[in-house]
Amino acid sequence: MSTCETTVIVAEEEPPSKRPKIVPSCAPRRDNEPIITSTCASKSPRHPLCCSTGYPLEIVRASGQYVYPSNGEKYIDARSGTVWHCHPDVVEAGRKQMETLCTNSRFLYDSMVTYAKRLCATFPGKLSCCIFTNSGSEANELAVQIAEAVSGGSKIVALRGASHGHVMTQRRLTAASSDLACPVPQPDVYRGEHRDPGTAGELYAVEVGKIMAEQDTKVAAFIHESVSGQTAYPQGYLEAVYRQVRAAGGLCIADEQQGGFKRTGKHFWAFEAHGVCPDIVTLGKSMSCGHPVGAVITTRDIAEKFAASGVSYFNTFGGNPVSMAIAEAVLSLVEGEGLLAQVDAVGSFLREGLLSLMEQHTCIGDVKGAGLLVGVDFAKDRESKEGDRKLASSVVARLQEDHHILAAASGSVVTFSPPLCISKEDCTSIIEALASILRKLTA
């Protein structure tokens, strides 16, 4: 075992109906207008942390693919992106570890090493080193630090409109202009500049090369989500961009926050569908069924160069015993026999149902994503393909209020990312609910 500030674990060298508004903290509001904070519903009319996630629900418990608010009703969770709510094996693993040892990462314990080896064994190539964090945002922050230290570059190539977290570095990555970001177009074959699936991948990759060449400083890395409900990569795009970035001395970072742990139904990791192997992979979300855990996976060579660069990294609770116990229990669930085929079958069923709705409703312009990460892109008309943000927002509100289904909207796209244990029956409920809503909203 090799360590870097006690947080780098090296596995095998070559492993086998009301919708709340976002209210500024200084704005007045009506007495009953809801504000959602980052942790709970707030009674304060001036709380500075607020976000809108649909009409507020106070969730008191969850099980499998369902959540139960304080109103006593059952809701289908089609937005959290977890593996399984409150699985008894995961709950027991956390409880047992809490009774035995709950401390920070300044000590050595076997569970960190054991889980790191099992996790790294799921990756291809030389991805064999693991650094634990407390979230996906932290993992992406660290990945950028590693890329800058190892490559000597300072620019990060990132897709416009992508989401890699909410710490300052990630917000700068997707900004229109910053000293860190080198923003490139989304390779969108639906409403982007290049729409022929046969040639779009190469053409969008050429644009990335041109933008990189215009930078006045060296590119450190290219970061991308491996899959999302917002867009789909055309054939050959990632392969071509990886070649250009590596030729320029940069590293390639795959953000598997949403697509990892078999969510696409085809591979353990979503990047595998594109025939590429990243230099760094970042994890979060599904990693621990709601417990705060994240990780950076990289090669031994990159980890050792980062350690030798003089950049010190330590994470007080990253990789703590409780997090490791819970994450390993989740990994056992994901590695269970038949899950990949189940996700593929149920995801295909959901996608086919949504495509059927697209044939019936012209307001659906496109259905995107893979497996159990699917997006429905609403358009004002199919000729202009202008996104219909208002309709997408209304659909999410109606799903929640009228049909007890939780989904997410980003721009004109409604995304469904349910727990991996969701059933075809639940997907039927989603499809039928969406059909009912569209009949009413577009009548």
Closest CA to 138 of 251, 330, 282: 282
Q: pLDDT averaged over consecutive 10-residue blocks of the chain (443 residues)?
A: 42 44 34 40 40 68 96 94 96 96 88 96 96 94 96 93 76 66 91 93 96 93 88 92 97 95 96 96 93 97 95 89 96 93 97 97 95 96 95 96 95 96 98 97 84
Query: Which pLDDT score is estimated for 174?
Result: 65
Residue 4: predicted pLDDT = 38
Cα(90)–Cα(394) distance, rounded to whole angstroms? 36
pLDDT for position 22: 32
Q: How far is CA 2 from CA 8, 9, 104, 127, 128, in A?
A: 7, 6, 19, 15, 11
Task: Write down the pLDDT at residue 106.
Answer: 83
Encoded amino acid at 85, one letter:
H
pLDDT value for 303: 96
DSSP state of 175: S
Cα 268–Cα 258–Cα 183 angle in degrees, nearest 5 = 115
Neighbours of 29 (CB within 10 A): 14
Beta-sheet pairing, 280-283 with 294-299? antiparallel
Structure tokens at 97: 């570890």
* The predicted structure's pLDDT at residue 12: 47
**What's the helix, strand, coil split of the chain in %, to 5?**
35, 20, 45
pLDDT on residue 201: 95
pLDDT value for 11: 53
Written as one string, the DSSP assignment of 80-128 is S--S-BT-HHHHHHHHHHHHH----TTS--HHHHHHHHHHHTTS-TTEE
**pLDDT at 188 (0 to 100):** 92
Supply 294's token pair.
């994240």
Taken as a whole, the chain contains a residue count of 443
CA distance linking residue 354 with residue 257, whole number of Å: 24
Kind and range of the H or E run holding 436: helix 424-441
pTM: 0.87
